[in-house]
Amino acid sequence: MQKTWLAGLFATAALAGCASGGATTTPSLTAIAETAPTEQSDANTALIVPRANGGGLIIGSSETTGIELYGLDGARVGAIASGAAVGVDARYGAPAVNAWVVATLDGATNQLRLFELNAETGIGRERTARALPVGFAGESLCLYRDARDQTLYAFALGAAGQVAQYMIGERNGGFDATLVRELRVASEASYCTSDDATGDLYVAEQGVGFWRFDADPEAEVVPQLIDAVRLGHITEEAGGLAVYNAGTANYLVGSDASASQFHVYDRNNDHAYVGSFTLGAGASVDSVEAAGGLNASSFAFSARFAQGALVATDDENDGGTNYKLISWADIAGALNLSAGTAQDPRTPPQSSMAIVHPLTETTPVETDGDSADDPAIWVDRNDPTRSIVIGTQKQSGLYVYDLQGRVLQFLPDGRMNNVDVRDNFRLGSQAVSLVAASNRTTDGISIYRVDSATRRLIDVADGVQPTGFLDPYGLCMYRSARTNDTYVFVNGDVGTMRQYRLNDAGNGRVRATQVREIPFASQTEGCVADDETGVLYIGEEDVGLWRISAEPDGGTVPTSFATVEANDALKDDLEGIGLYDLGGGRGYLIVSSQGNNTYAVFNREGNNDYIGSFAVLADAARGVDGISETDGLEVLSANLGGPYAGGIFIAQDGRNIAPQEYQNFKLVPWSVIAEALDLETRQ
């Protein structure tokens, strides 16, 4: 992480002063209007929202009065008691109300407070269901609404650089918040803003500069430095931030508070700097100095604000701190910026991504870091509700869970990476279910049988079954419909895959014998074998997906059917692969696209054509977070009863964030995936 931040700093330093188009001088503009001063000259941040009967409403924050409301003429029209409000933001219609949900950070108690506001009447009421302390000295706040499922999040900023992300939901008729992620900058985080359409979060670190984060709580934390104090265009103090999104015209505005300037960056061109402006005095409006919080909207509020407006906090207004309103058309004209298309903030952005939610999750593993990896499912044919999930812990062993996610067994037998299961292996006089796992401690294949009565695993390996790899990775099993033989495929850390036949060793034990080797050019891991059609599917992590005959005499040259380069839905690494069996050779392949936290679906039959993708996001009502950075997955069409009557999807969660715990596995009914992507369910 430190290297990433430093790389951003040096990149910004190298580009400082190199404007990409735009103005070469710093024009001075004049605000069109200003609000009355806050009661005790303690304005913080404000935003402007449309009103149904025309015009707009300015929602401001005051450390004395709380939330203050103003018309476009600047007159105060109301207030909502909300403590010492040090930040304010709002979204329309989320969660589940036909009004503005207003969030503020009460600096006196350092708590989040949530309100419902009717912009037409100016009447607001608190809807906070319980006390929501953030646990640090609050500086500011902003909201983000995920376009994929409209979940609302709040970011609370702290004086020591804290950036705490909360998921907003409903509870007992009110609004609740759950901490889902904690970000960090090195020093005071003073302001933030987000763009619901793009998922960008911007944070102003007062003494350092402007940062960009991914607002998705499941995303990898890789901050991007947009501009830096002294190394870039900011002189000494990074102030407020605002996003102006008008589609093709998409800009970030940042306050250079110490220089009383406003810098503009083109978000459609990798945040290239396009110019700066100042706000001078007009006939009835004074200049803006030491600007604090900012907000922007492209909505046409009136003829004077036909292209939207920028709201700037004036911390040194002659009559007391207040908010200035600047026409975006004036800014665009001065800096030669495009106008774009107005966006109505009451209409949330939509995403075409299919979204599902997990039903439950397993108990987290016992160690931190990269630990849980790959699941498999053993089906109890006599009572499918007693089926078990077998999950690898690649730091220590194997877990066995029930369908409610509770631990039934833990085997500390080594660093298990991938696992799979097959029924009807003839061991002595019994037909048993075998479980095989790649063991990175022994560099071998660990083999167990399932005790159906106790739902426990019993070691049946005839000693260590070596793979010949220095570090075995992926593993999957195959039962041949032609010969009834059972096989294990294992790949190593050099791309090569090897196939082993499992044999009864004659003493109640099982032995593995290598029968084939399949070379690949780079790292492979995820694989699944189709027992009915005799096809093996393999994921080459950075390249794409392959298929080859699963029979030992099936050759050594696989066929490519999907690549990362050719399919924009696939973002490496490609990890886990599962098969949903509809019968008759029909069904679906599910692949973990780890680079964008989605799951790609391909046809089982024909040329394995791509169908679509889905993401698994948090279920606020159940308190189960989404799934991200997935390594292994499994999907099954067997009827497991109840919500899993149509089958089940299970995936490893690389970031178990709500609450923040060690990694685990999430369980999703197949029925919700089928509905989201209009897929079939096995009857």
pLDDT in tens, 241-298: 999 999 999 999 999 988 999 999 999 999 999 999 999 988 788 888 778 899 999 9
Q: In sequence order, what are the residues at sequence separation of 6 or more whose Cβ sits closer than 8 angstroms to the Cβ of residue 568?
A: none
Q: 189 or 316: whose pLDDT is higher? A: 189
pLDDT in tens, 10-34: 344 334 334 444 446 899 999 999 8
> For the segment 655-676, what is each residue's pLDDT rounded down to a tens digit?
998 788 999 999 999 999 999 9
Q: Determine the pLDDT at residue 19.
A: 41
Say which range, 192-201, 478-487, 613-622, has the weakest mean pLDDT.
Answer: 613-622
**Residue 290 to residue 256: CA distance in whole angstroms:** 8
- Least confident piece of the model among 28-42, 168-182, 503-517: 28-42
Amino acid code (one letter) for 327: S
% of the chain at pLDDT higher than 90: 84
The SS3 call for residue 523 is: coil
Of residues 65 and 100, the one with the higher pLDDT is 100
pLDDT tens profile 566-621 = 999 999 999 999 999 999 999 999 999 999 999 999 999 999 999 999 999 998 88
The CATH number given to 2-335 is: 2.120.10.30
Per-residue pLDDT averaged across 442-459, rounded? 97
| Number of Cβ within a 10 Å radius of residue 430 | 9
Please tell me the distance from the alpha carbon of residue 100 to that of residue 122, in angstroms, as a whole number.
11
pLDDT of residue 317: 66
Q: Can you tell me whether residue 120 is helix, strand or coil?
A: coil
Distance CA 423, CA 420 (A): 11
Q: What is the mean pLDDT of residues 118-122?
A: 91
> What's the chain's length in residues?
683
- For residue 495, the SS3 value is coil
Q: Which helix (H) or strand (E) holds 539?
A: strand 535-540
Gap between the Cα atoms of 681 and 50, Å rounded: 45
The fold of 354-677 is Neuraminidase (2.120.10)
Say what the pLDDT of residue 547 is: 98
Categorize the per-residue pLDDT at 4 as very low, low, confident or very high, splitting at 50, 70 and 90.
very low
Higher pLDDT, 264 or 36: 264
Structure confidence by residue, pLDDT tens digits, 367-399 = 999 999 999 999 999 999 999 999 999 999 999
Confidence of residue 545 (pLDDT cuts 50, 70, 90): very high
Pairwise CA distance, residues 74 & 49, whole Å:
14
Instruction: Give the model confidence (pLDDT) of 230-242 as tens digits.
Output: 999 999 999 999 9
What residues are paired with 188 via a beta bridge?
none
Q: Give pLDDT, residue 17.
A: 37
Sequence-ordered list of residues with C-beta below 8 angstroms from that of 10, at least 6 positions apart, any chain:
none
Q: How confident is the model at residue 52 (pLDDT cuts 50, 70, 90)?
A: confident
> Is the pLDDT confidence value at 8 over 70?
no
Q: What is the mean pLDDT of residues 521-550?
A: 96
Give the separation between CA 315 and CA 190, rounded to whole angstroms: 14
Q: End-to-end alpha-carbon separation of the chain, Å?
A: 48
How many Å apart are CA 163 and CA 556, to the nearest integer? 51
Q: Which helix (H) or strand (E) holds 148?
A: none
pLDDT value at residue 508: 94
Of 302, 305, 255, 303, nearest to 278 (Cα)?
Answer: 255
Task: Express as a percent the part of the chain with pLDDT over 70.
Answer: 96
pLDDT band at 318 (very low <50, low <70, confident <90, very high): low
Per-residue pLDDT, 440: 96
Cβ 110 vs Cβ 139: under 8 Å: no
How many Å apart are CA 493 and CA 496, to the nearest integer? 8
pLDDT on residue 44? 85
Residue 303 CB neighbour total at 10 angstroms: 6
Strands (E), 328-406: 354-356, 360-361, 372-378, 388-393, 397-401
What confidence category does residue 505 fall into, taking pLDDT thresholds of 50, 70 and 90? very high
Partnered with residue 192 across adjacent β-strands are: 203
Domain boundaries, the chain: 2-335, 354-677
DSSP 271-338: TEEEEEEEEE--SSS----S---EEEE-S--SGGGTT-EEEEEETT-TTSSEEEEEEHHHHHHHHT--
CA distances from 180 to 8, 156, 165, 347 (A): 26, 12, 6, 26
H or E element at residue 35: none
Question: 363: exposed, middle or buried (C-beta count within 10 Å: 0-12, 13-18, 19+)?
Answer: middle
Confirm if 142 and 118 have CB atoms less than 8 A apart.
no
CB 279 within 8 A of CB 24: no
Looking at every residue in the chain, the average pLDDT score rounds to 92
**DSSP 8-state symbol, 642:** G
